[in-house]
Amino acid sequence: MLTETIKNFVGRLFSSPARGPERLRREKHGIDRRNVSRHAIKVCEVLQQAGFDAYIVGGAVRDLIMGLEPKDFDVATNATPNEIRSLFRRARIIGKRFQLVHVVFGPEIIETSTFRAPASDEQETDEHGRILRDNQFGTHEQDAARRDFTLNALYYNPVNEEVIDYHRGVADLKKKLVRMIGDPQLRYREDPVRMLRAVRFAAKLNATIEPASLAPIKQAAHLIENVPASRLFDEVIKLLTCGHAMECLEKLREFGLASYLLPYLDDLMSNPEDRHFIDMALERTDLRVRAGKPISPGFLFAAMLWRMVDKRWKQGVYDGLPTMQALIEAADRVIDEQSGQMAIQKRFQGDMKEIWFMQPRFERATPKSIWRMFEHPRFRAAVDFLQLRAAGHEVDSVHAQWWMDLANAEPEERSPMIDAYQQRNRNEGPGAGPARRKRRPRRKPAGAAANVH
């Protein structure tokens, strides 16, 4: 314990600013106030008018300096949670590890936190050193020291448009350097998710992880197993939806983290066809992210795990199982094995299975079943997934396009399309559209006598 305390002190000593914080005016940091959430500005204004310090902090400041659009805006202040809540009509205190206040403005929530104190031996940790409870308030400087990376320890005052930089984070941003504040080995032990955040920032910003911050990651990678499943899942979603998903996966593999998150990844990435399918899926995800469109975690993980499901499905059919039973067993087995490393939330598992289980129905749909499929809540997602499979040469592209055209058609256009498909199917047989379902001959019970008419 004494050794850890000394390391902690030394790390913070050398990471602390020697000349105090830099205060950068607008011409130095380049943030355009018009790009800042008006609700975040309002929270800062209300807190400052009440006599408190208040700043927009962290990722929003980082992204604004880099010319990116922040996903959300957080505020840090020296007001306590109860003091914050008392100033806003719609505000609630949340959090166990560290209390926060959610200030609600319609659909936008401004997460507002009180400055935190440095980690101490008195804080509750698990046997691996991960902090479990962290409700100690501190000063502005202490809060900056508690931030994980220098590029996240930036504070923007929207009232006077000044950026306060305690750890030279703006300089690191310009150099595209991801650098840990304090002793990296200790900071990763305190919160192993910081390793995943380092990967995400490096990929998103096309940056390099500073050597001292990178060195402990492979050795500490196993600590990921101690992170609660729900938090780990959230962090992986952030990795896959940061707009640079494939780069994140490559870095996870390079740094020894992938095996603790996605057990199939190394096998899939080593197979050119499997890698191509994942690459296509993630490229389409990146395009949606950059276009500001929503991302479905269920669809994303359905694509990530599909090739393993498909292989198990084909093996099940080869072993004599009926098509749907083989697919169901393959899906359950792959999800169970994935959950052994990182559990996917149940609601997203349901979405994944529905997307997968609709794939055989596209191959042998009857006109009656087509109308039923339209009513399925995952119909459009399943059609999009069929398009992805067609791009991977798993199914006929004309067949997949027919379904996409049908999904995009106006309601009054669908009936003629289905009638035309049915007619073509009768005249030309399989291949013109979704094939008619063939009725299997009924087997006679063993020893039964033939009917005589």
CB 388 within 8 A of CB 280: yes
CB 64 within 8 A of CB 103: no
pLDDT per residue as tens, the chain (453 positions):
444 444 444 444 444 444 689 999 999 999 999 999 999 999 999 999 999 999 999 999 999 999 999 989 999 999 999 999 999 999 999 987 788 999 999 999 999 999 998 766 555 555 555 555 556 899 999 999 999 999 999 999 999 999 999 999 999 999 999 999 999 999 999 999 999 999 999 999 999 999 999 999 999 999 999 998 889 999 999 999 999 999 999 999 999 999 999 989 999 999 999 999 999 999 999 999 989 899 999 999 999 999 999 999 999 999 999 999 999 999 999 999 998 888 899 999 999 999 999 999 998 888 888 999 988 999 999 999 999 999 999 999 999 999 999 999 998 999 999 888 777 767 665 444 444 444 444 444 444 443 333
114 phi/psi in degrees, rounded to 5: -85, 145
- How many angstroms separate the CA atoms of 240 and 262, rounded? 12
User: With left for phi above 0 and alpha for psi between -120 and 50, is residue 67 left, alpha or beta?
Assistant: left
Residue 7, classified by CB atoms within 10 Å of its CB into exposed (0-12), middle (13-18) or buried (19+), is middle
Q: CB-based contacts of 407: which residues, under 8 Å, 6+ apart?
A: 379, 380, 383
Find tokens 């490229």 and name the residue: 283
Q: Is domain 283-428 classified as CATH 1.10.3090.10?
A: yes
Q: DSSP secondary structure string, 133-155?
A: ----B--HHHHHHHSSBGGG-EE
Residue 250, classified by CB atoms within 10 Å of its CB into exposed (0-12), middle (13-18) or buried (19+), is middle
Catalytic status, residue 148: yes
CB 153 within 8 A of CB 166: yes
Catalytic status, residue 53: no
Q: CB-based contacts of 156: which residues, under 8 Å, 6+ apart?
A: 29, 31, 36, 55, 56, 57, 60, 61, 64, 162, 163, 164
- How many angstroms separate the CA atoms of 156 and 25, rounded? 10
Which position among 74, 165, 172, 191 bears the catalytic label?
74
What is the reported pTM?
Answer: 0.81
Residue 183: per-residue pLDDT: 95
In this predicted model, what pLDDT tens digit does every residue of 40-74 receive, in sequence order? Answer: 999 999 999 999 999 999 999 999 999 999 989 99
- How many angstroms separate the CA atoms of 339 and 329, rounded? 15
Q: How far is CA 29 from the centre of its chain?
A: 29
- Tokens of residue 353, six digits: 């299975």
Which position among 143, 148, 165, 310 bears the catalytic label?
148
- How many angstroms separate the CA atoms of 4 and 435, rounded? 67
Report, in angstroms and rounded to the nearest whole number, the Rg of the chain calculated over CA atoms: 27
> 3-state DSSP call for residue 109?
strand
For β-strands 91-94 and 100-105, DSSP reports them as antiparallel
Cα separations (Å) of 192 from 77, 339, 373?
26, 19, 44
Which position among 32, 72, 121, 419 bears the catalytic label?
72
Q: Where are the domains of the chain?
A: 13-185, 283-428
- Tokens of residue 67, six digits: 């010319």
Catalytic status, residue 72: yes
**Which CATH topology does 13-185 take?**
Beta Polymerase; domain 2 (3.30.460)
Residue 453: per-residue pLDDT: 37
Residue 332: per-residue pLDDT: 96
**Number of Cβ atoms within 10 Å of the Cβ of 123:** 16
